[in-house]
Amino acid sequence: MPFVTTQDGTEIFYKDWGPRDAQPIMFHHGWPLSSDDWDAQMLYFLTNGYRVIASDRRGHGRSSDIGSGHDMDHYASDVDAVVQHLDLRNVVHVGHSTGGGQVARYVAKFGQPQGRVAKAVLVAAVPPLMVQTAEHPDGVPVSVFDGFRDALSANRAEFFHAVASGPFYGFNRDGVPLSQQVVDNWWRQGMTGSALAHYEGIKAFSETDQTADLKAITVPVLVLQGDDDQVVPYREAAVKQAELLQDATLKIYEGLSHGMLTVNASDINPDILAFVQQP
């Protein structure tokens, strides 16, 4: 399996499919998943002629179960290690949830200064800041994230099943049929990763203020989110991202969930493709 070793010795697993001379699209997964969560997108864009790349975040999937560096700065630096290793240029970076925060930090700190980024796509992404603070009173109370940590510590397998079968895909909504296969795949990806990385990742995705990252990004960014996202409130996420970014296109999908990339891929993928293809 392909890996790249970072400066602190972390081995990052990555997938790299498609023609080496095609425009690259790199995908960044959410918490607590892996690059496998992008199957529906990687195959779609591969068949549309693109080179597609995705990596497992440190402590997730097949990457190193390392005891440190579970923060946005290390996540972004790990992305840079993969990009540099593959010498990717003119890249479109697509990030979901925590992966959206990873994209924002990478583009602002590494990719844009290096001239390697063409565009970005933020899907149900966590920036600018999830947690409630005195300066951000409309955020999610820290007690909610403390509850996540308590549930993960008590019984990670049970907690992950509850998330996947409930709010993540909106399977807890009346009239929404539950897909056991989708739940099982989410649970499989989560349980493959490290409990420590998942525990510390909660702080990374909820308490990292990425306002400055968003303001620094000048490349075109497509911002997508469902208005029935029960994980990341869209008014505090997508709407504010579009306000802070210099060149943003915002689309809110009526009734769609946090996991819309999987359960509504046939709607989302063409919209991302149209954005990528815009001159």
Q: What is the largest CA-CA distance in the chain?
A: 50
Active site residue 229: yes
Distance, in Å, from the CA atom of 17 to the CA atom of 50, rounded to the nearest integer, reads: 9
Number of CB atoms found within 10 A of residue 154's CB? 9
For 59, 81, 202, the CA distances from 234, given in Å and listed in that order, are: 27, 31, 18
Annotated catalytic residue: which of 35, 97, 165, 206?
Answer: 97
Active site residue 267: no
Q: Give the three-class secondary structure for 4.
A: strand
Annotated catalytic residue: which of 36, 37, 78, 229?
Answer: 229
Annotated catalytic residue: which of 29, 74, 96, 258?
Answer: 258
CA angle (165 as vertex; 229, 271 as ends), nearest 5: 40
Active site residue 266: no
Angle formed by the axes of helices 98-106 and 72-86, to 10°?
A: 70
Which strand ranges, in their side-by-side order, compose the sheet holding 51-55? 3-5, 11-17, 51-55, 24-28, 91-96, 117-123, 221-226, 248-253
Judge contact between 75 and 58, C-beta under 8 A: yes
Judge contact between 215 and 247, C-beta under 8 A: no
User: Residue 266 class from Cβ within 10 Å (0-12 exposed, 13-18 middle, 19+ buried)?
Assistant: exposed
Q: What is the DSSP letter of 204?
A: H
Task: Please give the positions annotated as active site.
Answer: 97, 229, 258
